[in-house]
Structure 1
């Protein structure tokens, strides 16, 4: 008896959502009962109970001899179930470039659904409670893989029933949004950290854009050639490379130099090769002067300088840099490598979560499911130039050279690591804090490395 009640109430919820969202339109007849039973795998008795419930609500009317119809004069404005509130992180490229495409495509199928976006800092673990204090009920939360380390997962819905249209070959993309084999966020897009270049600057200064592995001497020489005072005012206004102090950027370059920075299961910090790389980084900044010191702590500023044509190269992701720059074609190039380069790259990802407090769970899940549709993923990849969760779409949109430089070429796949696989959230924050004096030029690489090793040896 309990199961039957659950089934008819669930069926009523599905039909109610489809009607109020506009998927089933006023004046439209429902399919015959037999067909509905087959589509939703429900008994005739439970279906009729659901139809009776919606009829009593005025959402359906029964036409004798013709079937069940959505009323032509149905007023959906009195229902709140067609509104989805989306909580978005500040300055999210996905929110700016991909979310509008997703909403537009969703509204083509469900025209009565309205969306409200609230931008906030997801670093606040109490974000849902804070928003509820202002009367905002969150239905969807767009977040990053690093947010999974901070957000209280017991406040979010498990999403194992939101299934992709095709197999997602990147198992780590599923794993990073899962805990204890339960999925808490639907993957939206991801990106390895890669080296982007401005091919126009390369051409202006007689340089060939690298299309295969190159060494550190060639990299430094290219950076020097593109660093200059272009207007003669005595100040450098173009730099060959933009180095960021963020742990989500420079460790990628460090791996190719031969540095392994990670925390071992024992708690010990593995700093193999770190002093050597940091000496090289200091030389780029303070001796060769090919990276702007003022922008090291601000990757938004580095992205702006790159977009303005003031940087020849910098480390970035598709979620930070517009791959559709109007002034020059943003080009993905290989990272320089040493013979002792470490395999693997750092990856970041965006996902979508649904809070337990959502007042419209079924519609929220439908929207999350829609984000995994092949047609949306293809349009997102083409128009926003984001990586799709489906590799076959990436092969269609991105060139072989780009995929190889990103480490995503099927013939030469690079291992991908999310930050929490190398450095747990608390370790990442501690290292960033401890490196401030070093990046400012007040500590040597050897002094910093020794201090980091001591800190993490004492914390074990």
Structure 2
């Protein structure tokens, strides 16, 4: 209700003062300008200023205006704390979040940050924190994590506005529900093929150009795979293949298989067996990919950074793009004659729980992620893609942007997994049921038959449950 707008304004000004954004001795804007900035009546503004004056935060200076109390002892009020829930093993949290926090503290010096890592579901973790008296103010998660969250427990963020046009509307859509935004996009990345050019050169291989074939890709991977120390075991591999459902479907698409959900709700399996046979052959017959690391993307990233992988299917969000030993280079994905256009992408976003103790400050922190100066530092120092095209053009080379499909001449659509598989049940069953296949103890045909049966029963059960639900 508008008659209580002064309480809302007082809360915002109180946060600005206690966070250090408004400093002791600093004058506020004149009343007329404050009314315009905050779209509030003069009467409500004066009520807000009076409330903060009575709290000792403001001082009315006759003939000069309203000033933050020079004698204000911030320590008496305690530091303002932002509690951030972060996913474990997140490159964004490790490399980009510290930059964001440092820049924010330059403007809000009295704000302290506490981080809580979670590998469990966010819903359970948020409740566990609340049981210990800690309310999360910020939640950082991937686009696929958001699909599993109860959105009614989070604030809508339509009032947080980007400074520039975002690279694609899909980045906004993937963090929205019914066109209402529940998260701010932080960064994104298509899945791409990173390589170690030194391993290519040492094996007399040229870096691939835009149209290299699957046969050339396999031959290059075989040429780089070797036993470098003579102990009878390969310790250098041509390719690092990840079993993650957010990785291998890109190779599938570039070969001949288009992952999608059929109108019936089932998974499209046309061409899937041929593709899986090829992937399994790369691991077990050709031996060009380390078997143990297939189910462990962290180990794959470590092996790549150590110079033990010639090529690595990855994203900027999981791979260090700066390496002291070799220049990490982005190369094109191999394509077959029946390849499908388009790439798979992942993204990180920022949400604010409704139970936040500092929702206003949390929104200011979220707004800060959209500042172009932060996006520049994130891209140049942490080597992540910016959500702004202008920044990517400044930081990433034309060749890199071309290979990633980010220039006009190479523009290629990218898809998020929830576009390919709108029903998360398909994604969940694929992740759970492919372990035997990746372990090499189940053929592609056996896996597809078993997975199809499981999926059919699960969908039938879902329909039955929906019919008896009130």
Does the alignment pair 1:393 with 2:394?
no
Corresponding residue for 1:7?
5
Is 1:149 matched with 2:147?
yes
My pick for the range that moved more, 217-226 or 424-433, is: 424-433
Equivalent runs, 1:24-423 vs 2, <5 Å: 24-79=22-77, 82-423=80-421
Q: Secondary structure at the match of 1:125?
A: helix
Distance in 1 (alpha carbons) for counterparts of 2:43 and 2:431: 62
The alignment covers a number of residue pairs equal to: 458
Give distance in 2, aligned partners of 1:245 and 1:280: 14
1:80 to 1:416, Cα distance in 2 relative to 1, 3 A: farther
Deviation at 1:131, TM superposition (A): 0.6
Q: In the aligned structure 2, how far is the partner of 1:297 from the partner of 1:33?
A: 61
**SS of the residue aligned with 2:242?**
coil
Q: Secondary structure at the match of 1:315?
A: strand
The CA distance in 2 between the partners of 1:142 and 1:131, in whole Å, is 15
Contact 1:81 1:359 survives alignment (8 Å): no
- Provide structure 2 residue ranges, at least 5 long, that are not aligned to the other structure: 461-470
**Secondary structure of 1:270's aligned partner:** coil
Aligned equivalent of 1:453: 452
Q: Is this contact kept in 2: 1:81–1:360, CA < 8 A?
A: no
Q: Give the C-alpha shift of residue 164 in structure 1.
A: 0.4
For the residues of structure 2 that align with 1:266 and 1:399, how far apart are their CA atoms?
44
CA pair 81-182 structure 1, distance change in 2 beyond 3 A: farther
Residues 22 and 307 of structure 1, relative CA distance in 2, 3 Å threshold: same
Structure 1 pair 57–7 and aligned structure 2 pair: CA distance change class (3 A): same
Task: Give distance in 1, aligned partners of 2:76 and 2:89.
Answer: 34
Alpha-carbon distance in 2 for matches of 1:124, 1:34:
44
- 1:428 maps to 2:441: no
- State the 1:124 CA deviation: 4.4
The 3-state SS of whatever aligns with 1:189 is strand
Q: Which residue of 2 aligns with 1:23?
A: 21
Give me the whole-angstrom Cα distance separating, in 2, the residues matched to 1:77 and 1:420. 47
Which ranges in structure 1 are unaligned for 5 or more consecutive residues? none
After superposition, the C-alpha distances for 1:361-398 in whole angstroms (9 at most, x for unaligned) are: 11100000010011100110000010111111111111
